[in-house]
Amino acid sequence: MSNYSYIVWIPLLPLAIFLVLGIFGKKYFKNTSGIIGTLALLASTVISFIAAHQYFFVDGKVNGVYQKIIAFKYTWLAFSPNVSIDMGIIIDPISIMMLVVVTFVSLMVHVFSLGYMKGEVRFATYYAFLSLFTFSMLGLVLSSNLFQVYMFWELVGVSSFLLIGYYFDKPSAVAASKKAFIVTRFADLGFLIGILILAFYSGTLDINTLIERLTAVQSTHFTSIATAGFLGVSMLTWGLTLIFIGGAGKSAMFPLHIWLPDAMEGPTPVSALIHAATMVVAGVYLVARLFPVFSMDASVLTIVTYVGAFSALLAAVIACTQTDIKRVLAYSTMSQIGYMMFALGVSKQVGENGLGFMASMFHLFTHAFFKSLLFLGAGAVIHFVHSNEMKDMGGLRKLMPITHIAFLIACLAIAGIPPFAGFFSKEEILMAAFHSNKIIYGVALFTAALTAFYMFRLYFSIFWSKESHHHNSHGEGTVSMKLPLIILACCAVGVGFIPFSHFVTADGSALETHTDMLFSIAPVTLTILAILLAAAMYKNENDKPAKAAAAFGALYKAASRKFYMDELYLFITKKIIFPLIGRPVAWVDKNIVDGLMNLLATITAKMSVLIKGLQSGKVQSYALYFFGGIAALAVLFIYLWK
Amino acid sequence: MNGIPLTHIIFLSTALFFIGMYGLFTRRNMITMLMAIELMLNSVNINFVAFNKYLYPDKLDGIFFTLFIITIAAAEAAVAIAIIINLYRSHRSIDVEDATEMKF
């Protein structure tokens, strides 16, 4: 086994940049901070590519199975000889895959931001936050200890909060950042409890040991967690469900998805990095990381499947009605993550049945490229027209040729048209769903068609539709904005051809996949029909969209209002939680908890008034008390103490 | 011994102690109070020496204690007089009744 300890530099470089730019950025690197951050991240990216090459092609494989390697381990906090919080680095196919995705997309976003964020007052702060986020995300994917995962999970949440609220003088951005933080924090509570349950029964926080102990059916640990129950459900199910709630919060699964669309208040490159390619797939990654344990409990996998499928469908329906292009992309992200989730849900741990796992990871991989491309393309468009609304756009294809082509490629990729990247991964997911659950397959197929429809609605509304009234005053954008678009477009075309199943599978051994031409006919035909429909409705300006909206009536209205989820949450919090729980708790706090403290203080004050007369300032009376005391003690000890 | 019983000496030292104590409580002049304290210390010294002599004639512990007390008393007198001088400088008086600011 060779040495992988150099991997520790991949997260440490962004951390160093965060510290340098965060502390000295405003003073010394006002204009150069972007270059510094980008160069450091370039180094990280190169190292992670080297690591990926070494792992996948040189020495990661032993007897045809990719090994889990602990590259670095440091016991940070030991509670007892068995339970400790370690800072470690785990290397296995999914962590290496995520390493490549995170560093690469982050690099693209860093480069894009050089142009997009140029002239911002808090330029250095922006890059410091980006570096912090990259560090946390890399730490998260490399964590070898569940508690370490949790810490980086929170760090990721904080950096997401900071970046969403980057334009802190905009009240909507502030509200959005708070919302994202509170909703994900709420879900993280479930995650923490889940971790504690698993750790309590398995007696360890180390991921590998935990998986080992909880997957051995005969072991005492597994018996204890599977037999112990609460409310008639075994502790294993509870623990895994709670962990899944944490993952669902970060990954914007129904019903914890409400923060994601609002998170689009952040700068667009940030949305591309955090809310499309990396952070929001953390939930998927978490489930994949603990997948051997998840696969021990069919009921949790069923929950994962149905939550994922429902989120995918719901988000796709909502995405068809939104007019803010970033919100369309946000819902599309949620929908695609739903795909990844239910692909995991229908998967099994070993062999052929592990197709869903592999498909999920593959989709995560391809999605990262084409979705960040979509966001960066949207960023370029927003940069050009200074608006997020579809109605302000249209006919941009001549003014922004490169963005236009890149965006088209990304749309084709996400719609799943061969030979673009999304086709391959989506095909695997559909295949996995088809073989295990026909209902899920139906939902997935319908969602795929919807995806194609709303993506091309977006595409045609931005680049075709009415004639542009914009003047080509400041061009399409700087080179640093075009370059990432071109590179990512190449990726969106190319990454689908990677024989992914040879590298990343549930059990580490290669899996043969066969693309079945006959199987592909249904989804591809549906997708093409959806695209044609979108073209008919949105290619030229006409009244068909309005008619369609009227035809769907209530459904359209509900979907455009996001099915009243926000209103529902507001109702629950304002009308139920605040008056029934918040106020009584506040009353108890004010009157009983504070009251007790006030009572103690009052008693002390009264006592001091009573006895302060003794403190007369007269030396001789003090001496008298002293002698009196001594005499009393003498009497006590000589005559009374028998 | 030569005829003086231990009780007599203890009478003497007790008398001396309570005279000192009376002085400490009644005098307002700090120098006098200091002298009263010295009286009390000396009564203790007499006790030590007497008990040493009458009860353990072949040991010297009581005498050692006495020597220490005399030394400490000298040091204490120096400190006390320094305090008195400072008090005089700030209050223009060495009457304890005039220095009662340190109260509630």
- Which of A613, A615, A619 minimises the CB distance to B96? A619
Tell me the pLDDT band of A567, cut-offs 50, 70 and 90: confident
More confident residue, A435 or A562: A435
Q: CA of A244: how far to CAs of A92, A307, A334, A340, B30, in Å?
A: 21, 10, 16, 13, 80
Which residue's entry shows tokens 């899996």?
A: A511
Residue A351 has pLDDT above 80, yes or no: no
Residue A554 has pLDDT above 80, yes or no: no
Class of domain B29-101: mainly alpha
What percent of chain B shows pLDDT beyond 70?
Answer: 97
First to last CA, chain B: 56
Highest mean pLDDT among A338-347, A584-593, A616-625 belongs to A584-593
Nearest-5° Cα angle at A225, A222 to A226 = 80
Residues of B with CB below 8 A from A624's CB? 25
Q: List the single residue in A with minimal CA-CA distance to B18.
A: A627
pLDDT in tens, A570-585: 788 778 888 888 888 9
The answer to whether A617 contacts B25, with C-beta atoms less than 8 Å apart, is no
Q: How far is B89 from chain A (nearest CA, A)?
A: 19
What CA–CA distance (Å, rounded) separates A245 from A255? Answer: 10
Q: List the single residue in B with minimal CA-CA distance to A610.
A: B104
Token pair, residue A628, equals 């009196």
Residue A1 has pLDDT above 50, yes or no: no
More confident residue, A1 or A190: A190
Which residue's entry shows tokens 């962990």?
A: A243
B33 phi and psi, to 5 degrees? -60, -40
Residues of B with CB below 8 A from A618's CB? 96-97, 100
pLDDT in tens, A218-264: 777 777 777 777 777 788 888 888 888 888 888 888 888 888 888 88
What percent of chain A shows pLDDT beyond 90?
Answer: 5
pLDDT in tens, A413-451: 888 887 788 888 888 888 888 888 788 888 888 888 888
> How much is the pLDDT for A212?
81
Per residue, the 3-state secondary structure of A16-73, as one string, reads: HHHHHHHHHHHHHCCCCHHHHHHHHHHHHHHHHHHHHHHHHHHHCEECCEECCEEEEE
- Which of B25, B33, B103 minimises the CB distance to A617? B103
Q: List the single residue in A with minimal CA-CA distance to B22.
A: A624
Residue A498 has pLDDT above 90, yes or no: no
The answer to whether B96 contacts A627, with C-beta atoms less than 8 Å apart, is no
> How much is the pLDDT for B16?
94
> How much is the pLDDT for B41?
93
Q: How many CB atoms lie within 10 A of CB A21?
A: 28
Boundaries of every domain in chain B: 29-101
- Which of A615, A618, A627 minimises the CB distance to B96? A618
Stretch among A74-88, A362-376, A622-636 having the lowest mean pLDDT: A74-88
Residue A612 has pLDDT above 50, yes or no: yes
- Which of B21, B102, B104 minimises the CB distance to A627? B21
Strand pairing category for A233-234 and A61-62: unpaired
pLDDT in tens, A445-494: 888 888 888 888 888 888 777 766 666 556 667 777 888 888 888 888 88
Q: Which of B14, B37, B104 to mutate to test the interface with A (most CBs of A within 10 A)?
A: B104
Q: How many CB atoms lie within 10 A of CB A84?
A: 16
Residue B17 has pLDDT above 80, yes or no: yes
CB A316 within 8 Å of CB A447? yes
What CA–CA distance (Å, rounded) separates A482 from A471? Answer: 19
Segment A613-619 shows an average pLDDT of: 81
What CA–CA distance (Å, rounded) separates A95 from A152? Answer: 14
The answer to whether A617 contacts B24, with C-beta atoms less than 8 Å apart, is no
Segment A502-508 shows an average pLDDT of: 72
Q: List the single residue in B with minimal CA-CA distance to A628.
A: B21
Chain A residues within 8 A (CB-CB) of chain B?
612-613, 615-620, 623-624, 627
Report the DSSP beta bridge partners of residue A88.
A73
pLDDT in tens, A17-39: 888 888 887 777 777 888 888 88
What CA–CA distance (Å, rounded) separates A371 from A271? Answer: 10
Token pair, residue B6, equals 């231990």
What CA–CA distance (Å, rounded) separates A413 from A423? Answer: 6
What CA–CA distance (Å, rounded) separates A84 from A77? Answer: 6
Residue A42 has pLDDT above 60, yes or no: yes
- Which of B25, B96, B101 minimises the CB distance to A624? B25
